[in-house]
Structure 1
């Protein structure tokens, strides 16, 4: 867990947002610019960017012997600069059949970005009051 927190801290510091844009605490290859357009006005009314960050954990990999690609993404919101894995989160897993000779880093990034975008769309589709459930310490 300490390693994940350290990675999120580093990723968050690299994804500095301009005024009004969310900080994305991202562990994976997806950048803030890849998902910023999905953040709705209703969402930012409930979770102002100066107090909250969007947490993203994502990965994509291949099973070359089977010609399969797999991606997984977990997203949620956390109070800004807490680097918490969201207690209430939204996740998605996808698989795809691939042609190995056409699979490269660009394809892998597009596949992973698609997973993250789908998870964020799922998060944006519910009532913003149901998105974040705080940890009880």
Structure 2
């Protein structure tokens, strides 16, 4: 598989078979998959997907992505946990670089909620 076909989320799958399916409307099977698909949406500049997977109680009205976009360098899932049948968390580190600047690490513990059979991003803390 070429780098252009690989999924940005870091799984050894093509974009089409991985996050691309979620971006096309398939529900994420678990919070980690949703987190990975959201990372891929940032990489691909897909603000509509980011908003659609953000829980209505915390979702902003609009989302302006950086222009020019950062260069995304990778995603590392540190751990996942279930709180109950409808709540879970994912701890991750995403790395990116703006222009020729130093790489930045975004370390977050995100919370997710399951509603009507779909996982949604709720919020995150650094």
TM-score w.r.t. the length of structure 2 is: 0.36
Point out the structure with the larger helix share. 1
Q: Which of the pair has more CA radius of gyration? A: 1
Q: Which has the higher strand share?
A: 2
Given the two structures, how large is their TM-score scaled by the length of structure 1?
A: 0.34
* Higher RCO, Cα 8 Å, sep 6+: 1
